[in-house]
Amino acid sequence: MTDIERAAKTLRTAYDSGKPVPPLAGDLLPVGDTDAAYEVQRTQVRWWVKQGRRRVGAKIGLTSRAVQESFGVFQPDFGVLFADMAVADGAEVDIELLSQPRVEAEVAFVLGADLPQEQVTTVDVIRATDHLLPAIEIVDSRIADWQISIVDTIADNASSGLYVLGNSPRRLADVDLRLCGMVLESGGEPVSVGAGAACLGNPLHAVAWLAQTMARAGDPLRAGDVVLSGALGPMVPVTPGAAYEARIAGLGSVRTAFSNPGVRA
C-alpha cells in the first residue's frame, strides 16, 4: 500500500469512527506537497463514487484572508460536493454525525453551462452562471483539533462537511457580489460579519480560479454544478443546540440548527 492509499484509508477511518486523526503532513504526506494531497482527495472521491455517492459540484476553501490567517495557509483549495452533503434550509443537523464542525456564510453559484476552458475569465463565469443562492457551509475536519496545513485540508476534501442552500434563487445581474454584506447570527446576535470582497476580492474571482484549476486537472465544472465560492467572513465553531442564520445582501437568508445530544427530547 502506498502512502497515498494509507492517507486515504486513515481519513476514511476517521470519517467512519467520528474520531479525528493526527495531521497527515510530515507523516504520510510530505509537508507542502499539494499534488500528493490532491491525489489523496481523488482517491477518496473515487472510493465514494464506487460506494454510490453522487457528485453535484465543488467547494472552494481558504478564500477569506481571515480564515487563511487563522490556519497559516495563504492559498485557496477545493473539494468535491456530494448530494448527501446537502441539508434543507432550516433543517436540524445531527451534530453527532460531525467531528468538530464550524459554520461560514457563502455565495453559492449554480451553473447553467460547462466551464471546460483552462483559461477562464470572470466574463466566462458570468455567462455560465444560471443563478445564485445564499449558503451556509458546515465545514468539518478529520484532523485532530483543526491542526491543519494546506496538505491536510486538501487531502480531507477541503475540510468538507455539509452545506445548506437557500430556496430563493437570484440572478447574478441583480447582486453586487463585491459589496454584498453578510451577517451570520446565532441567538439573535452576530457571530460573523463580512462581505463579498473578503472572498478573493469577489466571489466571481474565486469561481474563475476554481474553473481554471479543475479544467487543468481534467475534471472541469459542468452545467448543473453547485459551487460554494468561499467564506465571506470568519468561520464560527458550532455550539450544540444552537441555530445559525446567514443574511447576505441581495441574496436573502438561509438557516440551519444543530441538535444537542446532552438534552433529551
Q: Region 169-178: what's the mean pLDDT?
A: 97
Please return the burial class of 113, using the count of CB atoms within 10 Å of its CB with bins 0-12, 13-18 and 19+. Answer: middle
- Taking only the tens place, the pLDDT of each residue in 78-100 is 999 999 999 999 999 999 999 99
Higher per-residue pLDDT: 134 or 72: 134
Q: Region 27-34: what's the mean pLDDT?
A: 92
Q: Hey, what's the cell of 36?
A: 500528493
- Taking only the tens place, the pLDDT of each residue in 212-251 is 999 999 999 999 999 999 999 999 999 999 999 999 999 9
**pLDDT for 65:** 76
pLDDT at 64 exceeding the cut of 80: no
Residue 195 makes CB contacts below 8 A (sequence gap 6+) with 178, 179, 180, 181, 182, 232, 233
**pLDDT for 167:** 96
pLDDT at 69 exceeding the cut of 80: no
* Global confidence as pTM: 0.95
- Taking only the tens place, the pLDDT of each residue in 115-170 is 999 999 999 999 999 999 999 999 999 999 999 999 999 999 999 999 999 999 99
Q: How far is residue 240's CA from residue 101's CA, in Å, rounded to a whole number?
A: 10
Q: Hey, what's the cell of 56?
A: 453535484
Q: What percent of the chain has pLDDT over 90?
A: 90
